[in-house]
Amino acid sequence: MSNDQKLILITDFIEQKLRKEKELEFYEKELVELQTKIGYLRREVDLTNTIINLIKTETVYDVKEQMVLTKSEEIDDA
């Protein structure tokens, strides 16, 4: 094998390495974005499950009613 052929093979490997590094960088960035989305979705699923469990156990509170009761108690205590 001549020196010219060896140089071509080495440059091919270097180019291939650079392409793979760029591809790896791209997929690592995509992975970070996907992990962030997964985190948000997990929180949403947890919130939905909490709401479902509250409804099943009939422990849903009327927020407005609770605020009015709290305010009236504060006024009565004053």
Q: Which distant-in-sequence residues (6+ apart) come within 8 Å of 60 by Cβ?
A: 54
Say how far apart CA 56 and CA 43 lie, in whole Å: 20
Q: What is this structure's pTM?
A: 0.56
| Each residue's pLDDT tens digit, 21-76 | 999 999 999 999 999 999 999 999 999 998 888 888 876 567 777 778 777 777 77
The number of folded domains in the chain is 1
User: What was the pLDDT predicted at 5?
Assistant: 66
Burial of 57 from C-beta contacts in 10 A (0-12 / 13-18 / 19+): exposed
Domain span at 53: 3-77
User: What was the pLDDT predicted at 7?
Assistant: 66
